[in-house]
Structure formats: structure tokens, C-alpha cells
Chains A and B, each alone.
Chain A
Amino acid sequence: MPSDRSPEIGSTVSIQKQIFNTLLEKLKAQGYEVVGPHVENETLVYAPIQKLEDLPRGYVTEQEAGSFRLVYTGHTRYFDVIPGAQSWKQFLFPSHANLFTLKKTDGAWEMETPRPTAPAYAFIGVRGCELAAIQIQDNAFLRSDFTDPIYRVTREKAFILAVNCMHPAGTCFCASMGTGPRVQGDADLTLTELEDVFLLNVGSELGRNILAGLPFESASAFVLNAANRGLERATLQMGRNMDTSDLPDLILNNLDHPHWRAIGERCLSCANCTQVCPTCFCWDATDTLSLDGNQTRRERVWDSCFNPGYSYQAGGNTRPTIHSRYRQWMSHKLGTWKVQYGTFGCTGCGRCITWCPAAIDITVEVADLRKEIR
């Protein structure tokens, strides 16, 4: 096999699984910090990975409303585990980031703005729902009239290897939201895992360069068929579904519906759903003043529409009740987001369902609201 060739953009090639280690080596050699799913402290995280064996081979996650279990079944697939609480948001939009530091010298405040720096990340194993979430956050942070400097430097440099989902979890509903299980957006490479090979679809020049010189073969009709059948099966195996046909009107026309109060009875307003949500972008800015009063660090931190202080102002709290906060969250995700950015703010990843301690299920709440209105 010639070693200097590279595949065409748009083509799909197949590689032996062990060759993936060479691909990871190449990414590292090009300066990327390679991060991917990894089992650590008995749970699934996104962390630096060195080699194929660092991936959670043999694991699955069992996810239901309010329940997450990482289970070792011993299967032989590396990319078959549906993600946990973490998402790529923690790299692109970190929970804490410095905006600037002020130092008082001779009575004057001197501003130090950190040159926004971040490693060039290679994200390994970005699911369709997660890639959609990144594109949704792009709309929020990379606007023509305002670009978030911290988000931009990380996003621009990121190499994305996406993964088609073959075995969705119990709380998944990406098929309803049109974001998966087949990866929909632009990735540098998109991987489909079959029993003995990885199929890689080349999405960019960057992806093409990484594959250049690696021993790959053109994907045969047989393996492409196997991948397509697997993805069709995955679509049918979604644990959840959501009828979006009458959204956002269903919600925006029923903001006074008593069902919101019923949800408010169960919701703890803990903000878990917004912390695990890969599209939630709300942030607060806080000052941390040194004890001598001569230095302050202004920091951007994640906030949540479920936090009591979120809508607090001099005139009082705009949303003092829990049901009004839940309504804000859901009517934003499935309603007003569409007006603001042209897409839903939900990708069907199911994290808010899995990680809700009260087991509130957005797909059930939408269905119940619809039933009660009819």
C-alpha cells in the first residue's frame, strides 16, 4: 500500500483499529492535546488520552431518568459508550475563565487582560448530538457583533473527530431533534466503528492531512452497507422521542398553562440540567478582591436560570418561583431559542433527563403538556 497518498475530502476509508494509534500519534505530533472518553474513578469523563486502549472499550452506560450506570460488558468496541455528565462545553466554554485582572499600583488600577490562550484540542469521539451542540454554541458565542474571545481561541483550533452512534442510551432522542445518530454537521473526520475496522469519512483538509500516509483502504460497499444498517437500527433504538412538529408554538402559546406549576412541584431548581446541558451558555461575572484590596480578578463563571440570583435585581426577583424558572429553561430550549438563533437549544442528548435528581424528563413534559392542551 502506498504510504504517501491521502484520501479525498468527502470520501470514506477504512482502517484497521490498531492504526488509530498512529492517527493519535500524528495528532500529538502536530501539537494537539488529544482528549476523549475515558473511565476514571469509576465513571466516564472526557480526559487526555494517549492511545486507543485509553478509550472505554467494553463499557456501556445505562441511562434512565435520574439514573446513570457505567457497566462493563466486555464488548470489543472502543466508541460504543454513550457520554456521561461531561460534554465538550467544558473545554470550549470553561466553567471558570479570567476576563481580566486589575492591580492597584500607586493608587491607579492597571488592567491585565490575559491573552486568551488554550491548547489546540483534538476532540476524539464527538457524537452527532454533541457536534450539533457545539454548532449551537457557535451561534451564541461567535456572532458578527460580538465574539467571545475565550470561546473563539479554543474553537478555532479544535480538531474534531466525530463518531456515529450505533447503540444509543435510554435517555437519547437525537433522532427526534435531527442531530443524530448519524453525525450531521461538519467534522474533520467522522468515524463509524464496525466489529473489526473503523470507517473514517473525511470532512476537511485537516482530516485529510491526518490520514495522509496511513495505511487505509477505500471503504467497500459491504462495510458501508453494514454502517448504514447499524445507523438505521440505532435510529429505531432511541430510548426516548419528542414530537417537535408543533414546537415552538405549543410552548409559546401556553406560557400560562397550569402544567408549568405541576412541574414546579417536582423540580428542585438544582441547576443540574443546565450544568450538564451542552448548549446552555449563561454566565455570570464575579470579582474576587484580594484581602489588601489592591488586586481584583474578574472571572466569567457558568450561571443557570435555575439559580435564585439569576434574575434578581433591585426591583425584586423576576422569577421567584421554581415553576417560572423551569418554564424559562424549557421555553428557551424548545421555543425562544429558535427565534434567537434559528435552531432549537436542545440536541436530544438526554443529559438533562439522566442527571435530574427528580427524574424530570423533558420529552415526557412536552408530551404531557400537549396531552393536557388537547
Chain B
Amino acid sequence: MATHVHTHSPASPSERLLEPVWAQVMDITNEAEGISTYWLKFTDPAVEAAYTFEPGQFNMVYLPGYGEAAISISSNPADPTLVGHTIRFVGNVTRAISRLKVGDVVGIRGPFGSYWPMKEMEGHDVIIACGGIGLPPLRPAIYHIMNNRDKFGKVYLLYGARTPKDLLYPTEFEEWERAGIQVQVTVDRADEDWQGQVGVVPMLFYRFRMDAPNSVVLTCGPEIMIRFVVYEGLARRVPAEQIYVSLERNMKCGQGSCGHCQLGPYFICKDGPVFRFDTLQPYFNVEEF
């Protein structure tokens, strides 16, 4: 695949939202078994100059002939010229992405969706609780906090993966600690070298004392983990208005148009993926809704 593309389009800007722009794979970081980060640079300098994103937003990544997948942005929002996508190879599109090489070109639409409330969180303690592939959409929030560390109170990262080998970004944990983020890591199943904690992410709430009324909880991961993280937060009297959840659904358009990602009245691609928990409460515990 090559790097230059000619586009002719007659439609107005809001009508071009279904057409991708192109970005070149500049680097690929192997993060864990079946998970890599793709570092993308827009081929059109005008697109690159105009592109910004907020922590928690996502792009639709397109491979011609295969289709699109909604992928959260996992890189530093302060440098949107290199957009990082940490991708688990699980479906048709992502498995095709796994065969990409540096220099290849992908289509991008975005950024889409709501984002973590970085502004509202200022002055508060922050608890980031995530599992598995739930960390990538929170990494931009971590970078943002590091870029503006004095604006936030105590910051905890509670992170879990299935096994030590499945942990994402382990080489960055030390740097995050140095920046004043308390990193608590757990795995479901230890291996012989693992010296850390074993258990599920919600259990990490028992390992520190929080100033609940002044805390904001951000969470992303498997739905069952989110459920119990929310429960642990509420049980400690963190107000539902201070718990934020990032959700995942099948998405096709990113515009709240195609209907796939609905959860009750919400289009997760447009009204989410980040929701304040109190707005989800009526629908969150309804099975298969």
C-alpha cells in the first residue's frame, strides 16, 4: 500500500464524515500477545495540522476491502501528530490490521465521541480503574495528568490483566510512578516470576484509603469488571456523578446514525463512549440491553 491518495468530493463537511482520510503506519509496538500499538501520521499535512483529540475519544480505522473498526486513541493528546492505536487482534478488520507493516496506509475517520472530564476533574483525587484492553483509552488521560500534574490531587491507577504477559505498557509504569501516580497492578493468574498481586481489579480498591467525596473514578474494561468497579466506588460513597464509564459496542458510523451502538436512548459512538454513571444507571443492569 502506498502513501498518496487523490480525493474528489462534492459534499459539504458534515456530509463527508463517512469518508476516511489517510494515515501512514510510522511504527508498530508489540505490546503483548495479540496486541500492538500502531503509530499513525496523516498523509495530508492539512489534515495533520487540523487534527486534535481529547483523552477517551476514538477513531474509526479503515482497511479498504475489509472494513472499519472503532479503536480508542491511546497516545498523548499533547502530540496529535502521531496518533497511537493499541489494537487487539480479534475480528476480521483487526486481524487484517495485524498484517500491516511500517509504511502501509490506513483510512481514519474521527475523532469521535465524548471524553474523560479532564477539566472537571481538576482539584480532585483521580482513581483510574481498568482491565486488559481497557487501559489504552485511559492512557491519554494518564498523559494529560502527567502533563498537568499539579492540577490534580492524588492519582491512582488500578490495573489488571489475565497474566503478567498480558499487561500493557509495563515499561511505562515506573515513569508514571515518578510522575506521582500510584500504580497498583494485579493479574488473574500469576506465573512463576510474578511478585505482585493476584486477583481482580475491584479488589484493588481495598488496598488504599480514598477521600471518596473528593474522588473521581474513571473506568474501562470488561463489562463485569466495570460493574464491580462502580459498585466499589458507590459503596465507598463516591457520588454516581463522579464515576465515569467508557463503554464499547458494535459501531459502524460514529455519527449516531447507523443505530448499532444504542444503549437505551444513547448512541454510544456519539453520546459516549464516556458516560457519567448516573446517566447510565437506569439501563446499566438490564440484561442484554
Q: Is B286's beta carbon under 8 Å from chain A?
A: yes
User: Contacts of B65 on A, CB cut-off 8 Å?
Assistant: 287, 289, 293, 296
A285 touches B250 (CB 8 A): no
Give the CA-CA distance A256 to B19 in the complex, in Å: 39
Residues in B1-15 with C-beta less than 8 Å from chain A: 1-12, 14-15
Question: Could you say which of B15, B90, B252, B283 contacts A285, with CB atoms under 8 Å apart?
Answer: B252
Residues in A123-155 with C-beta less than 8 Å from chain B: 140-141, 145-149, 152
In the complex, identify which listed stretch (A164-172, A212-220, A313-321) lies at the interface while the others stay far away: A313-321
Q: Is A340's beta carbon under 8 Å from chain B?
A: yes
A149 touches B249 (CB 8 A): no
A310 touches B19 (CB 8 A): no
Q: Is A282's beta carbon under 8 Å from chain B?
A: yes
Interface of A is mostly: mixed
Q: Is A100's beta carbon under 8 Å from chain B?
A: yes
A303 touches B260 (CB 8 A): yes
Residues in A158-191 with C-beta less than 8 Å from chain B: none
A109 touches B105 (CB 8 A): yes
Give the CA-CA distance A313 to B252 in the complex, in Å: 11
User: Contacts of B11 on A, CB cut-off 8 Å?
Assistant: 113, 116, 149
Give the CA-CA distance A3 to B206 in the complex, in Å: 88
Give the CA-CA distance A263 to B267 in the complex, in Å: 25
User: Contacts of B256 on A, CB cut-off 8 Å?
Assistant: 146
Q: State the Cβ distance, B217 to closest chain A Cβ, in Å.
A: 21
Q: Is B199's beta carbon under 8 Å from chain A?
A: no
Q: Is A332's beta carbon under 8 Å from chain B?
A: yes
A319 touches B288 (CB 8 A): yes
Q: Is B259's beta carbon under 8 Å from chain A?
A: yes
Q: Is A255's beta carbon under 8 Å from chain B?
A: yes
- Please encode chain B, from 246 to 281, with 1 for each CB lying within 8 Å of some chain A CB and 0 for all others: 001110110111111010110100000000000000
Chain A residues with a Cβ closer than 8 Å to the other chain, count: 56
Give the CA-CA distance A113 to B18 in the complex, in Å: 10
Give the CA-CA distance A318 to B248 in the complex, in Å: 10
A140 touches B257 (CB 8 A): yes
User: Contacts of B250 on A, CB cut-off 8 Å?
Assistant: 310-313, 318
Contacts A146-B255, A284-B252; A113 near B8 (Cβ below 8 A): yes
Q: Is A81's beta carbon under 8 Å from chain B?
A: no
B252 touches A147 (CB 8 A): no
Q: Is A339's beta carbon under 8 Å from chain B?
A: yes
A109 touches B262 (CB 8 A): no
- Please encode chain B, from 144 to 156, with 1 for each CB lying within 8 Å of some chain A CB and 0 for all others: 0000000000000
Q: Is B64's beta carbon under 8 Å from chain A?
A: yes
A111 touches B10 (CB 8 A): no
B3 touches A108 (CB 8 A): yes
A283 touches B88 (CB 8 A): no
Contacts A115-B10, A152-B15, A321-B288; A332 near B262 (Cβ below 8 A): yes
- Please encode chain B, from 59 to 73, with 1 for each CB lying within 8 Å of some chain A CB and 0 for all others: 000001111100000
User: Contacts of B12 on A, CB cut-off 8 Å?
Assistant: 147
Question: Could you say which of B3, B19, B90, B257 contacts A146, with CB atoms under 8 Å apart?
Answer: B257
Contacts A108-B5, A109-B5; A318 near B249 (Cβ below 8 A): yes
Give the CA-CA distance A287 to B92 in the complex, in Å: 12
Q: Is A275's beta carbon under 8 Å from chain B?
A: no
- Please encode chain A, from 42 to 66, with 1 for each CB lying within 8 Å of some chain B CB and 0 for all others: 0000000000000000000000000
Contacts A283-B252, A311-B249, A315-B223; A107 near B17 (Cβ below 8 A): no
Contacts A152-B15, A282-B258, A287-B67; A110 near B252 (Cβ below 8 A): no
B18 touches A99 (CB 8 A): yes
Contacts A285-B68, A314-B90, A315-B248; A107 near B222 (Cβ below 8 A): no
Give the CA-CA distance A300 to B18 in the complex, in Å: 10
B248 touches A146 (CB 8 A): no
B260 touches A106 (CB 8 A): no
User: Contacts of B68 on A, CB cut-off 8 Å?
Assistant: 285
B10 touches A113 (CB 8 A): yes
A107 touches B2 (CB 8 A): yes
Q: Is A8's beta carbon under 8 Å from chain B?
A: no
Q: A256-B287, A283-B258, A314-B94 are in contact. List 6 more A-B contacts (CB 8 A).
A: A100-B19, A111-B19, A113-B10, A148-B257, A285-B18, A319-B289
**A-B pairs with beta carbons under 8 Å apart, 7 shown:** A99-B18, A109-B105, A141-B257, A148-B257, A289-B64, A331-B264, A336-B265
